[in-house]
Amino acid sequence: MLNKQEFQVEVAGKPFKLTVSEMANQANSSVMCQYGDTIVLATVVMGNADRPLDYFPLTVDYEERFYAAGKILGSRFVRREGRPTNDAILSGRLIDRTLRPLFDSRIRRDVQVVLTILSYDELNDPDFVSLVSASSALFTSDIPWGGPIAGVRVIKLKSGEVIINPTVDVLSDKENIIFEAFVSGTEDKINMLEVVGKEADEKDILDSFEKAHNEIKKIIEFQKEVAKKIGKAKASVRMAEPDIEVKNKIVEFLNGKLENAVYVKDKAEQGVKISELKNSLMEYLKSEGVENLSVIDAILEEETDKLVHKNVLESDKRPDGRKLDEVRPLYSEVGLFKRLHGSAFFMRGGTQTLAVTTLAAPGSEQLVETMESTQKRRFMLHYNFPPYATGEVKKMGGTGRREIGHGALAEKAISSMIPTQEEFPYTIRVVSEVLASNGSSSMATVCASSMSLMDAGVPIKKPVAGIAMGLIVDQQLTANSQQPKYKILTDIQGPEDHYGDMDCKVAGTKDGVNAMQMDVKINGVTVKMLGEIMEAAKKARLQILDVMNKAIPSSRPKVSDFAPVIITIDINPEKIGEVIGPGGKMINAIIAETGVLTIDIEQNGKVFVAAPNQASADSAINAIKSLTKEYQVGEMVEGNIVRILEFGAIVDLGGGRDGMIHVSELKSGFVKKVEDVVKLGDFVKAKVIKTDNGKIGLSIKALESGI
């Protein structure tokens, strides 16, 4: 029997259980955490040797297992998990962004955190369990790390109620939620945020951060108590440090030269000057007899970081000369390409994005199967970041985690503004092509995508814009004071993005916040600081919306002539089989005869017809109406005789429907032969006298006699 120790704490009114046993005992540390019946195994492993890298090699893998939810998914031929889903990648990024700031960036050993979802109860969020599991495993291990941390999900309902760690059924009721946030942090700071909302008020969001942080403190205290009982002594790991003599030579050489290279408005010119400075530095070091030139980049990074911090903190000086709250020059344009359904170009300083909107039939929705759910997505936003956007040459492959993350953030910012399917029946896909990048291409994507949707005639509720905010903190002063010294930067770019202490992206309309994401390179920020950041972001957002409004003040009144025409009708669900026909015979015949693109039918009887033009769509709709028409007794009909039988005649009523006139209903009096009254091909008018299980009985006699 396995030896194990169990610990428990109450989180948001429910027990959270942490178990340490001999499972996964080859790892530096492993813990199993349970919340409800959602269970996560967290393992952490550190490599045995340093790697020759100029960065800290941390990997966080979030592993969904279909068995956790009692499902067998995958393709027809490969019934197992494949590449991580986008949702799994986003969950992994969320945890990575929380853990990473608390590692010493000078570590050069591999550290891998693997989070395996063993059980999912369809009620409790695996992200929360995974994050606390990862923190607990790291904190109780011998791996050097500055935790613990914790995180919770918090929502605010339209009723005003704020809920910590809501169950999945509450989360799925999106109509009732004003905003949802995942908040992570240390005992006294918040170090990671993910927010999605519907024009949420900044003050309400900040209040929810306070409530979330109170719960976070409790979970951190729990982890500390656990570590007292089972925690290991931290290993001594070599930190990457340059030779002090070489460092002094480099610092002396850079004195007076570095600022001239870094503080340049144009990014391309800045790159050239920095490259020239590095080459001069290399020649100087060679002349001084220094052989190990690999330290140049690390020391140059460190000195540039110090320079950017010093200039902002002491004199409000930014690399491109702007004021702290100044947004770079803006430009926007729509309708760039005639045949595209919608397009927009947005430029903020050196960042350029081209967004293209494509409209399609409802059948083009994306089916997303994950461990947690199976969903259809009718609005998609995809983000592409090619190497030429930063003037680089790189191999182009599949979509990377960064692209998935940036696209998801932009999609969250806009999704609450998308009209319902009843209001606008199209499936909508927006693709953002980042053409040039010098800071916050994801927020430029929000701006361009919003305008592209409007150009396509999508009646979005309001335009959406986004801005990236930065932070420069005096780390030495802050470490020795309860009152941190810091400066907030609006619209960060270049060196500010790279060397700054925070990247906080805020997107929304003129009336509130739709999405927010924050990452830090320091221990975290206070709620007070976040309030100032959001206030400055709102000011910039309104400025950007004014520029966008000049390019396109409202959605176009109709979709592009190159977009499909979509008509929606409702039919009796019991008639769906008649429209489809055996093996799809009827529906395929309608598509072939009318030239429509697609006909999609939902189980509730809603039919979507997508066609290249209105005439084609109308023809298909008429055919469907004829197929599903429920004839009433006494109704007048007309059509051609298509079959003569011994006991009557068959009339084509159109749309694949027919009715029969019994010989006794052809006319008053005795009729010996059907052909004595009607012949094949005759056009007749008749009255419906009965309907029985879809069979229609007609009478000419009743029409003549006025019955």
Which helix (H) or strand (E) segment holds residue 138: the answer is helix 126-140
> In the numeric block, which tokens belong to residue 122?
């369809």
User: Contact, 594 vs 655, CB < 8 A?
Assistant: no
- Cα–Cα distance measured from residue 463 to residue 446, given in angstroms and rounded to the nearest whole number: 10
Q: In what order do the strands lie in the sheet with 58-63?
A: 4-11, 14-21, 29-35, 38-50, 109-119, 58-63
- Cα–Cα distance measured from residue 186 to residue 190, given in angstroms and rounded to the nearest whole number: 6
Q: Measure the CA angle with vertex 288, ends 283 and 290; round to 5°.
A: 85
3-class DSSP assignment, residue 261: helix
User: Contact, 135 vs 223, CB < 8 A?
Assistant: yes
DSSP label at 632? Answer: -
Residues 6 or more apart whose Cβ sits within 8 Å of residue 63: 81, 84, 88, 114, 115, 116, 117
User: Contact, 467 vs 537, CB < 8 A?
Assistant: yes
Q: If you write DSSP's letter for every residue of 40-105 in order, what string do you get? A: EEEEEEEEEEE-S-SS--EEEEEE--GGGGT---S-SS--S--SPPHHHHHHHHHHHHHHGGGS-T
| Residue 497 assigned ligand-binding role | yes
Torsion of CA 64, 68, 69, 75, to 10 degrees: 50
- Cα–Cα distance measured from residue 42 to residue 114, given in angstroms and rounded to the nearest whole number: 6
Pairing of strands 427-436, 379-384: parallel
User: Contact, 145 vs 77, CB < 8 A?
Assistant: no
DSSP label at 560? Answer: -
User: Contact, 210 vs 236, CB < 8 A?
Assistant: no
Annotation: binding site for Mg(2+): 497, 503
- Known binding-site residue numbers: 497, 503
